[in-house]
Amino acid sequence: MPFRTFVDSAGREWEAYDVIPPADERRQYDRRSDAETITEDRRTDGDRRLTVGRVSALMAASPQGWLCFEHRQDRRRLSPIPDEWAQATDRQLEQYLDSARVAPALDVSAPDGSAAG
């Protein structure tokens, strides 16, 4: 996973890195939907994978991965990942940043329930 830092034209320092889901999470279909593949070990209960929920939906929307940009609480994602982004100039990275979508803020809480930071 390449990791870059760069400074945008407003003087803000950003971190940029790519996220590529593991091959086993890049499913393009639901294995349980094909009636011909029903076996003795038929699983009719809920999905038991650890990556169910928000992460799976993100991976389904961008199965080839995405480029992340972070500056403090500001997080953005760009998909698909531009070729050769790790060798891009700061200006090129800022252009990628400008076309990236805002990502939801992380809800990071300390074990006692207070906000971490």
Residue with tokens 């790790």: 86
pLDDT one-digit tens code per residue, 60-106: 556 789 999 999 999 999 999 999 999 999 999 999 999 999 998 77
Alpha carbon 18 to its chain's center: 8
Residue predicted with more confidence, 28 or 81: 81
Cβ count near 27 (within 10 Å): 14
Q: Extract the tokens encoding 8.
A: 């945008």
Q: Where are the domains of the chain?
A: 3-27+51-102
Query: What is the enclosing helix (H) or strand (E) of 27?
Result: none
Q: Residue 90 has what pLDDT?
A: 97
Least-confidence region, from 29-33, 35-39, 72-76: 35-39
Q: Which of 28-32, 34-38, 101-105 has the highest mean pLDDT?
A: 101-105
DSSP letter for each residue of 37-89: G--TT---S----TTTTHHHHHHHH-TT-EEEEEETTEEEEESSPPTTGGG--
